[in-house]
Amino acid sequence: MSLADYGENKILDEWFTIFGSTLYVGLSTADPLDDGTGLAEPTGGGYARKATTNADWNAASGGSRTNSVVFTFDPATGNWGTISHVCFFDALSGGNLLASGALTQPKAISADQVASFPAASLTIGLD
């Protein structure tokens, strides 16, 4: 049995109620895998996860949700590597990996570059 779009939308609209009022968007240079063992977040170089709340996301539709705001990380002060995945966590550091997805176009981030994701470019969905 699988959830219908309505059921998926209800769960996605409650995403921040289920996991906390503030979640954190992070980056990874490798597939984090479902259990988080492949996670490879940049270390140093000015990298930090970005806080996000329910207000930063459009209402779920068709079984998915997109960001309604631009997510811009602070400029890198060192080499972050080639970012291939975006992740969601329940803490600013450490914590639990909640979801992840591969970027359609990985991007190498070095000193003075900025990782940024326009509105509607990130999607949370249930599969």
For residue 93, give Cα distances in angstroms to 88, 114, 120.
Answer: 11, 20, 25
Q: What pTM did the predictor assign?
A: 0.94
- Give me the tens of pLDDT residue by residue for the chain, a chain 127 residues long: 889 999 999 999 999 999 999 999 999 999 999 999 999 999 999 999 999 999 999 999 999 999 999 999 999 999 999 999 999 999 999 999 999 999 999 999 999 999 999 999 999 998 6
The predicted structure's pLDDT at residue 126 = 86
In angstroms, rounded to a whole number, what is the distance separating the alpha carbons of residues 9 and 24?
21
